[in-house]
Amino acid sequence: MVLIDEQRETQTGETRDVVLSVRDVTVGFGDTVVLDGLSLDVYRGEILGFVGASGSGKSVLLRTILGLIRKRSGMIRLLGQDLDKANDEQRLKVDMRQGVLFQHGALFSALTVLENIQVPMREYLDLPRALMDELAYLKLELVGLPRTAAPKFPSELSGGMIKRAALARALALDPDIVFLDEPTSGLDPIGAAEFDELVGKLRDTMGLTVYMVTHDLDSLLTACDRIAVLGGKRVLVDGTVDDMLACDDPWVKAYFRGKRARQIDRSARG
């Protein structure tokens, strides 16, 4: 496990390890500024739900953190490493300690489930085939897929199985943090709840840190330890469900105090 030298006092006064620190980040395309001075911390072992209106920049931030989009200014420290200052070796170390589940799973259609899970192993490690098979079967089990799913191609899987297979691939190298981009979209409510439960179990058993972009109110209210809301090109508010309910921003109010939210919140709190 990577040592993290960064600790921060949270809003509740606890001192926690910071796994991801985004500071004053600005990102734009041409004349359009999408993120303007955005700051956010993600703590070790938490599930952070990241929400915001469509087009507010959630994917842009995720892609910037992953190094797929260049920021104009600001700093991003992931797993204790300032990504702008990382040399190739340091970048590789960080890459190996993070997993990503892209929207819709993004599995390679020409590879079986087992081969998909082995992609990061092939990319970063030099392991004998038998060991890679064994490790991939362990990941299958971890995400609740049967061994019979291993030789199947993505086109032969249900939506829920695709998400689980993609999660198994994201977990292939036992990362410290996983980034999940709308992991429950397209799943029925039962499948979505089971997926959330699985993510919670991974947090509890592996100490996994989860950064989850989601529109799923159920996930935000029941699975996430903390919520951050993107609006006005930065993080408008972050905190617990109660912090969201106390927030007076019109979008946050409409989202968390709307009719659907009240129903879910009532059933989640019993």
Positions that interact with ligand ATP (CB under 6 A):
29, 34, 52, 54-60
Q: Which amino acid is at 250?
A: P
Sign of the Cα torsion 253, 248, 268, 158 reads positive
Q: Of 32 and 155, which CB lies nearer to ligand ATP in the complex structure?
A: 32
Q: Of 59 and 240, which CB lies nearer to ligand ATP in the complex structure?
A: 59
Q: Of 33 and 127, which CB lies nearer to ligand ATP in the complex structure?
A: 33
CB 99, CB 174: distance < 8 Å: no
- Identify the H or E element spanning 236: strand 234-239
Name the 3-class secondary structure at 190. helix
CB atoms within 10 A of CB 220: 25
| In the complex, least distance from residue 182 CB atom to ligand ATP, rounded to whole angstroms | 7
| In the complex, least distance from residue 52 CB atom to ligand ATP, rounded to whole angstroms | 5
Q: Which residue has the tokens 């992991």?
A: 183
- Structure tokens belonging to residue 226: 């903390």
Rg of the chain over CA atoms, in angstroms? 19
Q: What are phi and psi of 115, to 5 degrees?
A: -65, -35
Q: Of 4 and 62, which CB lies nearer to ligand ATP in the complex structure?
A: 62
| In the complex, least distance from residue 174 CB atom to ligand ATP, rounded to whole angstroms | 28
- In angstroms, how far apart are the furthest CA atoms of the chain? 56
Q: Of 76 and 113, which CB lies nearer to ligand ATP in the complex structure?
A: 76
Q: Of 63 and 201, which CB lies nearer to ligand ATP in the complex structure?
A: 63
| In the complex, least distance from residue 180 CB atom to ligand ATP, rounded to whole angstroms | 13
CB 69, CB 60: distance < 8 Å: yes
- Structure tokens belonging to residue 79: 């797993």
